[in-house]
């Protein structure tokens, strides 16, 4: 009877853990839910309000608002959150001690029994001990793995912001490029018409008409390309946020100072290098993995001592009650702890090398990104100056045409040149902003425009500035 109670208690303790409910998948329902997503959903409004944003779909959508919308809808963040929860649970499991083992040995004598009862029942509780320092090492590994999972989730949040903001920037710049290409195509068409009229009047030869016609066709082809790029950018923005394209209909996008990227003096190299050292989440992940590897080495070092377990027990021996005590000691007959220690040491050294390699890579990436931005920014300034000069020349040509000093072809030619110069300057602006985006990605923090979201602010402590709390709250409203 006592044995039955002990077994029942052990089974009850084993079965008391909660099991998450089933989450069946229905692709048809998921597709319908995706098609119904809109930027005025109440959950998104609550998330924006909590983060100090307007929460009104009719208001202008800034990079911060687009970021929060991506955090709300982006399914990749749900995957990252689940991965972080899994890693934290795995770390908890790894840090757990081995449960004691209950050993029951009932025996019955079938012949030759002279005692009052034929039963002999033994019960022993096997209690294993960890190696010296093993418990502390396991806790350190669990803490490091949990922190690494947290940093990886924060890195997923940053990448979600990068995708959404880059797509928004491409939409706005693509819109400007399309407008500039349209103006250039119209100017080339009018110039070709003027040349054609002069050719009919015998004032120009056929070569001038052919050249103007080819220039007009190239401008039309360029316009078609710009339209396709703008459409692709709109689709990319919808995908980055996690909504259908129809959800962006009527939405007003606003990028502060889109036509004025920051000068290089606003991005001092020393400050950027410090930010890269503190803010890079991938480096933080590698540092946590180093800490975990160092803790595993300490745990392996403790295995130099034999594994010990004690087994206090009770024995009912044919009417006699006895107390028993057993000891189990691991005997290193086939192998010692040397191989395990060497493997853990090599893993620790590999983690150290990974940190050093990533630090070197970050420094090189920072230098390359800042240099690239400097070159792109200077090229944009030069092309903007050329565009301004061309526009001034077009204005003077129009005035001279009105005064009768030049013919229509001169005026239209100057206008076509000005529109082409403006298109080139717009392209240079787009390339400059992309270079700045690359620099931001190296630093893993917004540079221009600055962000009012707390998790994207500049770090003031040596630890990474990202905390997924705000983004988790935004994403939780969607689920």
| The pLDDT of residue 313 | 93
**Range list of H helices, 242-331:** 269-279, 281-302
Q: Are strands 119-129 and 101-108 parallel, antiparallel or unpaired?
A: antiparallel
| The pLDDT of residue 246 | 96
| The pLDDT of residue 467 | 43
Composition of the chain by helix, strand, coil, percent to 5: 65, 10, 25
Q: What is the pLDDT along the chain (479 residues), one digit of tens a residue?
A: 455 555 555 555 555 678 889 888 899 999 999 999 999 999 999 999 999 999 999 999 999 999 999 999 988 888 888 888 888 888 888 888 888 999 999 998 887 777 778 888 999 999 998 777 888 898 899 899 999 989 999 999 999 999 999 999 999 999 999 999 999 999 999 999 888 887 787 776 768 888 899 999 999 999 999 999 999 999 999 999 999 999 999 999 999 889 999 998 999 988 888 878 777 899 999 999 999 999 999 999 988 888 889 999 999 888 889 999 999 898 888 888 899 999 999 999 999 999 999 999 999 999 999 999 999 999 999 999 999 999 999 999 999 999 999 888 889 999 999 999 999 999 999 999 999 999 999 999 899 888 888 766 533 333 333 344 555 556 555 55
């Amino acid at each position: 009877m006592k044995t039955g109670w002990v077994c029942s208690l052990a089974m009850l303790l084993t079965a008391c853990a909660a099991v998450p409910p089933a989450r069946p998948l229905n692709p048809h329902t998921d597709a319908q839910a995706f098609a119904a997503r809109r930027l005025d959903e109440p959950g998104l409004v609550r998330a924006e309000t909590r983060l100090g944003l307007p929460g009104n779909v009719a208001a202008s959508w800034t990079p911060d608002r687009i970021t929060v919308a991506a955090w709300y809808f982006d399914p990749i963040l749900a995957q990252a959150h689940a991965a972080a929860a899994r890693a934290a649970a795995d770390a908890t499991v790894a840090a757990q001690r081995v449960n004691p083992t209950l050993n029951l040995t009932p025996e019955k004598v079938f012949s030759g029994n002279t005692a009052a009862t034929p039963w002999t029942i033994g019960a022993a509780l096997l209690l294993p001990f960890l190696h010296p320092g093993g418990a502390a090492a396991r806790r350190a590994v669990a803490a490091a793995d949990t922190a690494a999972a947290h940093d990886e989730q924060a890195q997923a949040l940053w990448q979600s912001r990068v995708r959404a903001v880059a797509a928004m920037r491409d939409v706005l710049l693509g819109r400007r490029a399309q407008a500039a290409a349209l103006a250039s195509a119209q100017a080339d068409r009018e110039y070709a018409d003027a040349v054609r009229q002069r050719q009919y009047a015998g004032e120009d030869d056929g070569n001038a008409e052919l050249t103007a016609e080819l220039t007009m066709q190239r401008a039309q082809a360029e316009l078609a390309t710009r339209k396709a790029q703008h459409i692709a950018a709109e689709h990319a923005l919808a995908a980055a946020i996690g909504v259908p394209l129809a959800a962006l209909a009527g939405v007003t996008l606003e990028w502060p100072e889109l036509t004025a990227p920051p000068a290089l003096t606003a991005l001092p190299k020393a400050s950027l290098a410090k930010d890269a050292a503190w803010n890079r989440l991938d480096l933080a992940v590698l540092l946590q993995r180093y800490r975990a590897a160092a803790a595993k080495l300490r745990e392996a070092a403790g295995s130099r001592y034999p594994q010990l377990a004690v087994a206090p027990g009770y024995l009912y021996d044919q009417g006699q009650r006895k107390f028993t005590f057993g000891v189990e000691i691991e005997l290193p007959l086939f192998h010692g702890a040397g191989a395990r220690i060497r493997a853990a040491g090599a893993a620790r050294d590999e983690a150290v090398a990974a940190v050093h390699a990533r630090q070197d890579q970050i420094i090189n990436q920072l230098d390359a990104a800042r240099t690239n931005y400097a070159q792109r920014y200077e090229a944009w300034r030069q092309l903007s100056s050329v565009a301004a000069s061309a526009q001034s020349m077009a204005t003077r040509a129009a005035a001279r045409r009105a005064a009768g000093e030049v013919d229509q072809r001169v005026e239209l030619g100057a206008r076509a040149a000005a529109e082409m110069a403006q298109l080139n300057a717009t392209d240079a602006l787009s390339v400059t902003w992309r270079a700045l985006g690359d620099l931001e990605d190296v630093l893993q923090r917004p540079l221009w425009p600055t962000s009012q979201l707390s998790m994207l602010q500049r770090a003031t402590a040596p630890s990474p500035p990202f905390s997924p709390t705000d983004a988790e709250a935004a994403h939780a409203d969607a689920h």
